[in-house]
């Protein structure tokens, strides 16, 4: 491994302090790669805004942030008794659910926080005690995510052949999780094993998460990375530079259809056309087995200015109509395997998913 021990680690999502007075600390990802700024969230609206405006992003990281945001919201009406804390929690989790619609980890984490309060008995006991229990659950969500990331990396690295070129789209690294990433966990693990890989990172229009975030993370860890524009992927594949595609996911349906950042579906089609295996890396918490297929996955529609005024500069005529879906859905039939903390799911279908993930 080339100097990874010297890489300065960072925490994308962290809790600072105790339950009653602590805060959620986030890396403001809208400022990367030129500025490394951390922000402290002391109330639920600040957490909601951070999720909505992509200061924190990536399905696992959103889930962890939401768990801590629920703790902050639960204390907003005081700690007089458990009923007060429980009522505030329910209001906070309902509010945080409105921040972004596609990443299932957001709802999964908030459901866990609500269930924790319910099991504790919100109509009895003391407020500070319930709040401490909620913080313990939020910490558990973060700890489980870190363990899942490392396991995904181990399983995924077994699929990587030394010397391969790997293409990834958007950002599914430490900035999208609480630790090591999902798709990038596969890459980091393979790199640490000395497999001498090279990564091709799509820039990921319109907000350039691949350029701003993925390239930044890979450089920090000493992984050879080449940045390409989104519309260069076909040519790079045609030239034989790519032997695998590995991407993350924001929600996976029961049949394996996978929602990820817009442009992923196109990459999957290109990979199929060039005979390149296309893998998804995601924790089990990203599966939504309540929906049968990708047609039921809600797709977030974002503001037009992200396309017409990227990073503050106008690049399109005033008044032009804009269509700006944040995600697309890749059909299961295009996915060679889904790399989870429990192992690799292949072939990708409802039966193998339930065998590996459970019902």
Q: What separation, in Å, do the N-terminal and C-terminal C-alpha atoms of the chain show?
A: 39
- Span 83-118, pLDDT tens digits: 999 999 999 999 999 999 998 999 999 999 999 999
DSSP helix/strand/coil, 66: helix
* 8 DSSP assignment: P
Region of residue 274 (left: phi > 0; alpha: psi -120 to 50; beta: else): alpha
Distance CA 224, CA 33 (A): 17
How many C-beta atoms surround the C-beta of residue 179 within 10 A? Answer: 23
pLDDT of 238 higher than 60 = yes
Backbone angles phi, psi at 320, to 5 degrees: -70, 145
User: For residue 123, what pLDDT is reported?
Assistant: 55
Whether the CB-CB separation of 186 and 156 falls below 8 Å is answered with yes
Task: Report all structural domains of the chain as residue ranges with CATH numbers, in order of start.
Answer: 4-149 (1.20.120.420), 152-357 (3.40.50.10470)
Q: Which residues pair with 226 in a beta bridge?
A: 200
Higher pLDDT, 208 or 120: 208
- Span 289-331, pLDDT tens digits: 999 999 999 999 999 999 999 998 999 999 999 999 999 999 9
Distance CA 323, CA 316 (A): 13
Whether the CB-CB separation of 61 and 109 falls below 8 Å is answered with no
pLDDT of 212 higher than 60 = yes
How many C-beta atoms surround the C-beta of residue 5 within 10 A? Answer: 6
pLDDT band for 8, please (50, 70, 90 cuts).
low
- Span 164-173, pLDDT tens digits: 999 999 999 9
Q: Among all residues, which ones are annotated catalytic?
A: 250
Distance CA 40, CA 296 (A): 35
**Who contacts 312 (Cβ-Cβ below 8 Å, separation ≥6)?**
none
Distance CA 308, CA 242 (A): 32
Backbone angles phi, psi at 301, to 5 degrees: -105, 125
Distance CA 211, CA 202 (A): 7
**Who contacts 106 (Cβ-Cβ below 8 Å, separation ≥6)?**
51, 59, 62, 63, 66, 96, 97, 99, 100
Find out whether the peptide bond into 171 is cis, omega within 30 degrees of 0: no
């Amino acid at each position: 491994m080339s100097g990874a021990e010297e890489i300065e680690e960072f925490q994308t999502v962290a809790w600072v302090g105790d339950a009653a007075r602590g805060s959620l600390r986030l890396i403001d990802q809208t400022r990367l790669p030129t500025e490394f700024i951390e922000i402290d969230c002391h109330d639920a609206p600040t957490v909601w805004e951070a999720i909505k405006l992509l200061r924190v992003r990536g399905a696992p990281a959103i889930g962890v942030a939401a768990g801590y945001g629920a703790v902050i919201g639960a204390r907003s009406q005081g700690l007089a008794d458990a009923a007060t804390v429980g009522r505030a929690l329910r209001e906070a989790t309902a509010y945080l659910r409105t921040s972004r619609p596609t990443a299932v980890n957001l709802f999964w984490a908030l459901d866990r926080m609500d269930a924790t309060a319910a099991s504790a008995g919100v109509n009895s006991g003391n407020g500070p005690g319930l709040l401490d229990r909620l913080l313990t659950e939020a910490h558990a969500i973060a700890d489980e995510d870190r363990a899942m990331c490392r396991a995904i990396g181990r399983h995924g690295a077994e699929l990587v052949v030394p010397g391969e070129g790997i293409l990834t789209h958007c950002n599914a690294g430490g900035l999208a999780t609480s630790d090591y990433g999902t798709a990038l966990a596969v890459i980091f693990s393979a790199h640490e094993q000395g497999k001498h890989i090279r990564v091709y990172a799509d820039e990921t229009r319109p907000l350039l998460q691949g350029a701003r975030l993925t390239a930044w993370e890979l450089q920090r860890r000493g992984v050879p990375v080449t940045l390409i524009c989104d519309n260069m992927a076909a040519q790079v594949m045609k030239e034989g530079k790519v032997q695998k595609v590995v991407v993350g996911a924001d929600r996976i349906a029961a049949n394996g259809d996978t929602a990820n950042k817009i442009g992923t579906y196109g990459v999957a089609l290109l990979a199929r056309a060039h005979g390149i295996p296309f893998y998804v890396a995601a924790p089990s918490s990203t599966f939504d087995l309540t929906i049968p297929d990708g047609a039921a996955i809600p797709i977030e529609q974002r503001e037009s200015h992200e396309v017409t005024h990227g990073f503050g500069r106008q690049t399109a005529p005033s008044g032009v109509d804009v269509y700006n879906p944040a995600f697309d859905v890749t059909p299961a039939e295009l996915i060679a395997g889904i790399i989870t903390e429990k192992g690799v799911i292949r072939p990708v279908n409802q039966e193998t998913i339930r065998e590996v993930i459970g019902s």
